[in-house]
Amino acid sequence: MGDESPRGKNDAPEQVPATTQALLLLHHQLFDAPPATLQVSDLQAWHAVLGAALGIRAGAWRTGDVTFGSYYGLPPSEIDAAVHATYAHANEHLDYLSYLPDAADRLEGVVMVSAYVHARLIRIHPFEDGNGRTARLVLTGQFLTAGFDPPNLSRLSRDVYLSALNRYNHLGTDDLYCPALDPLKKVILDLL
């Protein structure tokens, strides 16, 4: 059996070395040069690297319907607009945070925005596969861009993580301040 991702889906044994190598490459790129803002082109490029390792249609929006857990991803026709809107909304808040003088306030804001973007990407489910891995890379990048160490995702509890995402998927709105994001924010804070 291969390595298990936090959502519980196993990589095939032959995929594990390539997936690990792709994730390490992407993490090194993020640490060396964090993106100035969230860019949809970066999301697709990171997924392309990861997707090539998984042997899937890489870097392109999915074309079919998808379910994960008890939730349906957005219809393929809505993916591009939803990802762009999520990133635009998040970038507005990240720009504002960069002007806050207090590091604790900036960190609180980055946790809030990263939880929002992560939950939205999982809900949108833009790719055929690799959505969680790609969303976790985006989360790492947001912390690095803001000048903070990213959460230690190796300590991530799969059950707590999935419970937080399920709460958002069933109760959340597109609002950055949605209370359904609180469990995911706690997950992120616990990993700092």
* Position 84 in a domain: yes
Query: From the centroid of its chain, how far is CA 82?
Result: 14
Cα separation of 188 and 130, whole Å?
20
What pLDDT, on a 0 to 100 scale, did the predictor assign at position 8? 44
Residue 48 sits in a domain whose CATH number is: 1.10.3290.10
Residue 116 lies in a domain: yes
Tokens of 40: 């949809």
Among 118, 138, 141, 131, which Cα is nearest to 60's? 131
Q: Is residue 5 part of a domain?
A: no
In a domain, 57, yes or no: yes
What whole-number distance in Å separates Cα of residue 58 and Cα of residue 51? 4
Assessment of whether the complete model's pTM goes beyond 0.85: yes
Supply the pLDDT for residue 2. 37
Q: What is the pLDDT of residue 3?
A: 40
* Residues marked as catalytic: 125
Strands (E) located in 19-95: 67-68, 71-72
Gap between the Cα atoms of 11 and 19, Å rounded: 8
How many structural domains comprise the chain?
A: 1
| pLDDT attached to residue 87 | 97
**Residues of the chain predicted below pLDDT 50:** 1-8
Residues of the binding site for ATP = 129-136, 169
Residues 6+ apart with CB under 8 A from 174: 85, 86, 120
Q: What is the dihedral of CA 5, 59, 45, 161, to 10 degrees?
A: -30
Interatomic CA distance for residues 191 and 149, integer angstroms: 10
Domain with 23 in it: 18-190
| Residue 4 located in a structural domain | no
For residue 143 the two structure tokens come to 């912390």
Strands (E), the chain: 67-68, 71-72
